[in-house]
Chain A
Amino acid sequence: QMQVQQWGAGLLKPSETLSLTCVVYGGPFSGYYWSWVRQPPGKGLEWIGELNHSGSTNYNPSLKSRVTISAEMSKNQFSLKLSSVTAADTAVYYCATHSYDASLRHYDAWGQGTLVTVSS
């Protein structure tokens, strides 16, 4: 059974850098995609970006200039950094992992979500 736990600061001031980290429990897996998704209050889901088992990253073009997703694969941990935050970045941030094993069975697990509020 795969589980994900996330943590990070929930209150930021404008221009600061958002930093969140997730750890994935379970496996082993042949491959995986570690991603970040956010949901502003009262709005839908927005994909932020992902990092795969090869270490390649892919970002939402609208956030690409401010986003970095990195990982310590030996610890099954991955992190999100979003620079120069504004009130528009206020949202619940989720980390998620989509993995598959040697039998190509696919698994999905999400962190519990972190409400990040940007306010002066």
Chain B
Amino acid sequence: QSAVTQPASVSGSPGQSITISCSGTSSDVGSYNLVSWYQHHPGKAPQLIIYEVNKRPSGASNRFSGSKSGNTASLTISGLQAEDEADYYCSSYAGFWVFGGGTKLTVL
């Protein structure tokens, strides 16, 4: 069902920065500044880390940042830490919310 595409996996070493892309269309990512990112550790509840493309909710680490260019949004995690190993999902508004397929981040 997902119309928003993410890479299946990314990896990085502690201290490095990584970027996860979220590719959509002119009907979703490209139409609205309404892209959110969630961190999901398996077995736990997801957690919102970015909303409205580049804003952080209360309590979210400033190591997370978001951006958008055209139909593609991106999440950057700087200063990778072992605790960042998780699944990351983007979500875009398209008249309703659509999740990307998720990206598994491995910290080497």
Q: Are B98 and A106 in contact (CB under 8 A)?
A: no
Q: On chain B, which size bracket covers the interface?
A: 20 to 34
Contact with A along B64-101 (1 / 0, CB 8 A): 00000000000000000000000101010000111111
Q: Are A45 and B102 in contact (CB under 8 A)?
A: yes
Given contacts A37-B46, A59-B96, whether A106 and B55 have CB atoms under 8 Å apart is yes
Count of chain A to chain B residue pairs whose CB atoms are closer than 8 Å in the complex: 57
Q: Are B96 and A58 in contact (CB under 8 A)?
A: yes
Interface size of A by CB at 8 A reads 24
A-B pairs with beta carbons under 8 Å apart, 12 shown: A35-B97, A37-B99, A44-B99, A45-B46, A45-B91, A46-B99, A47-B97, A58-B96, A96-B45, A107-B57, A108-B48, A108-B57
B interface residues with partner A (beta carbon < 8 Å): 1-2, 38, 40, 45-48, 51, 55, 57-59, 87, 89, 91, 96-102
